[in-house]
Each structure stands twice: as C-alpha cells, then as structure tokens.
Structure 1
Amino acid sequence: MNAYPIKFRPILKEKIWGGEKLSLLLNKETMSKNIGESWEISGVEENISIVANGLYKGISLNDLIKKFKGDFLGQANICAFGENFPLLIKFLDAQTNLSVQVHPDDKMASKYHNSYGKTEMWYIMDAEKDAEIVLGLKDKSIDKSVLKDINASNVNSIFNNRPVKKGESYFIPAGEIHAIGAGILAAEIQQTSDITYRVYDWEREDINGNMRKLHTEKAIEATKVFPNDSVKEDHSTDDKHTKLVSCDFFTTNAFYVNGIEVKDYKLLDSFVIYMCVEGNANVKIGEYQELVKMGETILIPARAKRVEIASKHSKFLEVYIPSPSLNLTQKAS
C-alpha cells in the first residue's frame, strides 16, 4: 500500500450531556449544541470510519484492512484481531456529568454481547475550575450490592470523586466504576466496544421527561475493586516523551514537538495513531505530508517505518498496539 498520514471523517454523536467545545475548540463541523463525542477512528459496527484525505479518500476503514491487511494493521494485529480494528479513538466534551458507569471485561462481553470488553484511558485536554471525575468506589470494602440503592442523598458517599486538571491522564480498566464530570474536554483511547452499563444517571430526564435506562444487575457483575484507582500523571511541562499507559490492549505516549521530531518504527509491528492535543504540525511519510491541527487524528499504517513531524510547538498522543518483542504488554500501574 501507499503509506501516508491518513485522516478519517469524524463521526459526531449527540449526547444528553454534550456541549459545543468539540465544534468551538476542536473545529468539528456541526450546528448541534450538544455534541458529546467525536469518534475519530472507529471499527464499531454501523459506525465505520471513512478516509477523509489522500489516495484512499472515501474508502472505509474495514476495506483498507481487508485490502492491505498486515501492511495496514501490522501482521501481529492481523493474527490477534483478524480484520477487526482493535481500538476506538474519541474526543469527548462533557457539558454536564456523564452517567456513572462500568464496562465489562473481555470474558463478560463475550458471554453476553459477542464483543470485546472495554478498557480505556482519558487524557484531559481542558478542565474548568472544580471539574471532577468519578473513579471507583469510595469504600473499597463495601458490598457491590450498594449499587442497587443509589440516590441523590447518598451518591457522594458511595463513589470516589477526584478533581482533575489539564494534562492529566487516567487509566480505566474494564470493571472500574467511573464517570467524566461536567466541564471536561478529553481524548479517549479504548478497546473497540460500545458496551456501557449505567449505574447512576443523576436522576435527570431527557427531553421527553424520561430517565435513561440503568443496567444495575450487569453493572454489579462487571464491577471490580482495584487497589489503586488509576494512573494519574501531570504532563503540563514540555517533557519530550512520556509514557502514559501500557496495558494488554494499547500503549499511549505523550510527546511534544518543538522543531523536527523523527519517529523510527522499524521494530514496531503495528499501526500508529497520533491525536493532536495542542498546536499543529506537518506529519511526513516519504513524499506524503499532512498538516494536523489540534483536535485532529491521523493513522500511520504499519508499513511506514519512518515518520517526520515538524512544528514550532505541538503535543501529540501516540497510540499503538505493543509488539510482543518490545516487551510492552505489562499492565498499567
């Protein structure tokens, strides 16, 4: 295949909790005032990404995988996932709180949904004053059956609320109770799955006066208790390269570009995704070059082994499936 920096058309999702930051700050084209998610790269059924630029413009993500296989995904990923794209890449804008929720692991998702589970991470791109997330249960010894009886009077005593700020990252393994709070703009990297079990939805009603469905029994089954609620690191300084998460499902690094950065992927048997979270940059593979701005995402095919990035100042999240030979598949800690 011709390897170049591939962009996809964003798939925008209206949400009861969404706002306008994805359009106002990240330049997503929409007239809606409640866009909660921009699915940047998706292999989720009925939400398949379409190429937006270059030689393969108009071709679906699935068709690229079928045609180019290991040159596109990496041979190890073809062996592991077949022709399924293993990650779902998003930007999120929470104008109000998301529901408190939990996702199943691979075993439970396969049992009930014939799907992958959902381990994910967040990178906080912006956070308003006093913005918080829910991460885990406040009392780790509490019986999970308490999830059956949550209401406005006891919710703050059950869930662990944590303040957040720009530049922090959070790892959310499948089974961890969580929610993004109001006033947060985030990048999200996750397994390819759209399975969510709602535990509590702040007793709010939709435009028709109905409350959204809860999934309490399955949430109780899915919920796990973790000794440490997340990986949280501050990346507000111009560190050149910082590992955010390395788990069985993906590796995510953050890096700045102030000048020219050359990436060597000769030892990596995987596609690479760049999410631009600050500034803008020119990304070059061979003779092909693409301008990438804050709020945009590009995919580097596995065939590309050298990438050159030029910028006066930008920051990227670098995402890939770790090769076994690189010994990067340890759990996040």
Structure 2
Amino acid sequence: MKQFYPLTFEPIFKERIWGGTKLKDYLNKPISSEITGESWELSTVPESISVVNSGEFKGKNLNELIDLYPKEILGKEVFNQFGKQFPLLFKYLDAKADLSIQLHPNDELAKARHNSFGKTEMWYVMQADENARLIVGFKENSNREDYLNHVENKMLLSILNEVPVKKGDVFLLETGTIHAIGAGIVIAEIQQTSDITYRIYDWDRVDANGKGRELHTELALDAINYKTTSAKKEYTSIENKSISVVDCPYFKTNIISLNDEVLIDKTSDSFMVLMCTEGSFELVFGDQKYMYLTGDTVLIPAVLTSFMLKGTATVLEITV
C-alpha cells in the first residue's frame, strides 16, 4: 500500500508592481527580485501548478497526484463535491506599495463569464508596518449610480472604508467586496481556486511607457456588493488549542498558538493545509518527523488522520 506523507511544494513566485523583498526577509523565500509580490504555495491554477519538492512524490505536480490518488489526497467529501479539482489556492503576499482596489465575482458570475470558481478569500496579517491599513467595502451603503458617480469624478476613495491593521488580524473577503491590501503588510491568503479579479482603481500608476494597468469598470458593476460589510473576524487565541476563526462554505480556518504540543485528530473527509506564520514546529506522524519553519506550507493528505505538532509557532489549519 502506498505510504502517504505530509507534502511540501516548490513556491511559485510572482513579480508585481507593488511587490518588495519581505518574502525573503520575513519568510526566508529564495526570491531574486526586488518586486516579488506573491509566493503561491499550493496552486492548481493553469500555468502555475505546484510541484512536490521532497519525498517519494518529488517532481510530481499536484494535479498528477490528485489524478492518481484523488480520495487519498483530497478526501472523500472533497472528492464528492469537486471531483479531481483542488478547490483552494494558498499564497503569501508582500505589499510594499498599495495593491489595486479590486473585487472578485461570485461563483455564478465567474462560471458564466470565465468558466471559473468565484473568489472568496481570507487574509491573516503576518506583519504590518506602523499605520498600515486595508480597504474593505464601503463606509456607508451605496448603490450602482452613486458608485459610478464617484468613479467618474475620481472620488472613489472618499466612500471606501479604511481599516487599520496589526499582526494577527483576520479578514474574510466575501465575493463582491471591494478591497485592497495597503502598503507595508505581509499576508497569508487562503482563497478559492480562481485568478479572476476586477480591478477598479490603481492609484493612477503607469508603467515605463506611461500606460496604466487595465481597469474592469463595466465588469465590476454587476459583481459589487454595495452594502457595508464587517469582514474582520474577532477571535481569542488559546495556547495549544485549535481555535476557529473562519467557517465559510468554501473553507474552514483555525489558528493554533503552539507552545508545546498539540495532537491533531481529523477525519479522512478532507485534506488539511498547515501554514506556519511564525516560529517553527515539528510534525510527528508514526515514527516519521518533519520540521517546518516560518513561511512553510504543508499539505496533509486526507488519509493522514492523526499526528502531533510540537514546537513554538503560530499555525493556520485549513480544511474544506
């Protein structure tokens, strides 16, 4: 019988106009660019498919593994719901400058327009400079006409909600929510497998040729949630306990403040992903031991149902 084990993957780096070097400085990622904005940790987005970097499956990509062992990797319930599709995308982001103001369509719109999942996502703030902030939704309930009027008069920022952030903050961005990550923030992002973004404002930035990035003003109109939203998730961490912070239809995220050891017992219904956002930990499975550091992301195949975490770390624990 095939021996499954915790899987790690080669990070896929993305240069962005707003990127920097914190993925190297804080997360020890081997980036070679001064404008690396994203490290895609677990992805089956076409052209960006994660490849296993160690163990028996080294060199195989995630789609190949799922094709060979769908229920063992994904889990029985995930397979029943999604077939051989990996439903989530995991990233670390470094915003040296403000990201564009944007939003994502829901499943229905994304399917009709792009044959894609929608993009519900969550952010865990790993590091934030002083006075760092996010943009999340509207200050007050708006509507299509009022929104367009503010866009056309270059007054959009005046109706959007700015939120100061600090390390440890969690936000759930449901589809349709206008949002932007502000400068000076490193974020762990968990989202549906989708790369569909409607950009509505880009701070009037232009490239070396004086050309701005494409805006999606018309596409966005039917996708926006014009009502105010409370995206921030409040929670109280407890040492060596798995605390729920997000429970939405697409994924469930718990936070473990590890300061000794925690036994993880799970079902084989879903895979689990662990993101080490601070510190380091050892994962003990049977007589096998695996060591993980800040910035590591681990895919636990669904068939691994019991293991121990030991160390001092902050760990995000994600299932479907």
Whole-Å separation in 2 of the counterparts to 1:300 and 1:104? 29
Percent of pairs with identical residues: 44
Question: How do 1:5-16 residues align onto structure 2 when only pairs under 5 Å count?
Answer: 5-16=6-17
Other-structure match for 1:300: 300
Secondary structure at the counterpart of residue 209 of structure 2: coil
Matched-pair contact (CA < 8 Å) for 1:101–1:177: yes
1:1-333 equivalences under 5 Å are 1-143=2-144, 146-147=147-148, 149-150=150-151, 154-233=155-234, 238=239, 240-266=241-267, 268-311=268-311, 313-321=312-320
Change (3 A) 1:198 1:4: same
109-118 or 230-239: bigger deviation:
230-239
Question: Match of 2:316, as an amino acid?
Answer: L
1:167 and 1:235 in contact (8 A); partners too? no
Q: Is 1:118–1:193's contact at 8 Å kept on the other side of the alignment?
A: yes
Q: For structure 2, which runs of at least 5 residues remain unmatched after alignment?
A: none
Q: 1:255-307 CA distances to partner (integer Å, 9 max, x unpaired)?
A: 121112110013x5100000001100111222332111001100100000101
Task: Give the Cα–Cα distance (whole angstroms) in 2 for the partners of residues 153 and 217 of structure 1.
Answer: 16
SS of corresponding position for 2:289: strand
Mapped partners of 1:164, 1:245: distance in 2: 18
Unmatched runs of 5 consecutive residues or more in structure 1: 322-333
Displacement of 1:221: 1.0
Cα distance, 1:144–1:306 mapped onto 2, change above 3 Å: farther
Asked whether the 8 Å contact 1:147–1:199 carries over to 2, the reply is no
What is the root-mean-square deviation of aligned Cα atoms in Å?
Answer: 1.7
Contact 1:144/1:220 (<8 A) preserved: no
Amino acid corresponding to residue 5 of structure 2 in structure 1: Y
Aligned residue pairs total 319
Q: Scaled by the length of structure 2, what TM-score is found?
A: 0.95
Structure 1 residue 46: deviation in Å? 1.0
Structure-2 separation of matches of 1:121 and 1:283: 25
Quickly say closer, same or farther: Cα 1:152–1:217, change in 2 above 3 A.
closer
Relative to structure 1, is the Cα distance of residues 128 and 112 closer, same or farther in structure 2, using a 3 angstrom cutoff? Answer: same
Quote the Cα distance in structure 2 between the aligned partners of 1:144 and 1:197.
18
